[in-house]
Amino acid sequence: MTIELSSPMTPAEAPRTRVMVVDDSVVIRGLVARWITESGSFDVVTTAANGRIAVEAVERFQPDIVLLDLEMPEMDGVAALPLLLKQKPGIKVIVVSTLTQRNAEISLKCLSMGAVDYLAKPESRQQVSASADFRRDLIEKLKTHVASRVRPARATATPAKPRPAIKPIASRPGCLLIGASTGGPRAIEDVLSNLGPVLRRLPVLIVQHMPPMFTAVFAEHLQTLLGMRVCEPTHGEPLVPGTIFVAPGGRHMGLSRSASDIPLVRLDDSPPVNFCRPAVDVLFRDAATVFGSAALAVVLTGMGADGTQGARALAQAGATVLAQDEATSTVWGMPGSVAKAGLAHDVLPLDAIGPALKGHITGSLS
């Protein structure tokens, strides 16, 4: 067995986040390892050319985070993932793949198997080496998961500040809005599955930070899971109860009203908001204008603060905004920002969000 490595950590060394890079390309392994080291925040403790070598290296090198390529000889990333998680429970695995429909499907499968995140990489080695975006996204994701790793083990929900004095909901919700990023696919599945038949009473609009291709595959996955229409909408498509609209990767999804006052989906290619496109803020701000107090929104796990300004507009319009709590979030960035700004009607654990939304939709909560 051949393993490329740095020396194992000695007890006298200060603890740092330990990363293992797994990719069948020696060029990409070296390039990614250099980028990670140059960031100054991590130790690349070893690299591996396939999943089998990676699994055998875990016990010796004790990485905290593994960057796991999907397509490798001998043992690919899908086969290696459960073995890595078994070797070191609590290890964070970020799957890395080129942007194809097949890899998007496999990446989402890996999330359901226990991977914490995914990273889309350019198709060729030359494109990888020249891509500033890929390098930035790689380091940003590593830093995000370091922050979540050091969170107290028994974190409790951080209560929201008192909401501003705003008008209560005047009617039952006319739409459900969901914003999420890191850890979002599994959280969204959980919330929507818990709503049951109530989900068909109103249109649902989802902004999940994902690249193109991934959002289409995610929509197909939700449709199979829920047994109802889930789609990436077209511009100008009317909102229909019982339909779930997933914002397409690379485009903002907002709302408008037709001349006859029918709510419509609005898509555009305007610049990123909060470094994101699609952005939760875009959807929430439009919903505050189009639906006012009849909007119902939830901000789930995700890094950054996307959704906070939109939540402010919703709260000022009298709408209800819920946020996922810290203890059950993969990353308490987006929901934490909303909660800390005092814009959340409730800050709830993931398993309580579905029942709470159901109560608002049916009118048993206000």
Burial label, 126 (beta-carbon count in 10 A; 0-12, 13-18, 19+): exposed
Non-local CB neighbours of 15 within 8 Å, separated by 6+ positions: none
Of residues 116, 181, 108, 179, the one with CA closest to residue 149: 116
Cβ atoms 29, 21 nearer than 8 A = yes
What positions carry a catalytic annotation?
A: 181, 209, 306
Please state the separation of Cα 11 from the chain's center in Å: 35
DSSP letter for each residue of 140-173: HHHHHHHHHHTS-TT--PPPPPPPPS-PPP-SS-
Q: Is residue 275 within 8 Å of 144, Cβ to Cβ?
A: no
Q: Alpha-carbon distance 294 to 172, whole Å?
A: 6
Secondary structure of residue 265 in the 3-state scheme: strand
Candidates 331, 330, 323; CA nearest to 349 is 323
Measured CA to CA, the distance from residue 300 to residue 22 in angstroms comes to: 30
